[in-house]
Structure 1
């Protein structure tokens, strides 16, 4: 699997958010280069955890939807002499 890649527009937004966080929460000003370095570090070192969590959440949502579909199909079943 390839690493997490963001478009240049996405990177720009994320970098600005990192800079804002440092300014507001830590009282430090960091440049774009440092913020991009942090973004690359976190994407490489922790990105897979967030990615996997997203996959698990998607699987759970899909499983719930499939259960709903199975219930809906079961409700359409017509009565017959055959018992399952």
Structure 2
């Protein structure tokens, strides 16, 4: 996963702020960027795959609704009698 420079800067600020607020530790920009890259590499694929799985379920559910709607619109075949 590749972050834009703006995204990386925002996340770096958020990480350094979190460390200061919650852990009372000052970490530098380099350390924060290292952590972000580590988590992107190690955890990012899990969330990416989960997003794809969730999207697949949603598309399947919507497709099922479309099939049901088409079946409701289908008229009885007068030639079958």
TM-score interval (norm. to shorter): 0.7 to 0.9
Q: TM-score, normalised by structure 2?
A: 0.86
1:27 to 24, 29, 32: 24
RMSD over aligned Cα, in angstroms? 1.3
How many pairs does the alignment contain?
Answer: 79
Unpaired segments ≥5 residues, structure 1: none
Write out the 4+ residue segments of structure 1 that deviate beyond 2 Å after TM superposition. Answer: none
Structure having the larger proportion of residues in helix? 2
Which string of whole-angstrom CA distances, capped at 9 and with x for unpartnered residues, describes residues 39-80 of structure 1? Answer: 011111111111111111111111111111111111111122
Unpaired segments ≥5 residues, structure 2: none
Structure 2 CA distance, aligned partners of 1:22 and 1:60?
37
When Rg is computed on C-alpha atoms for both structures, the one with the higher figure is 2
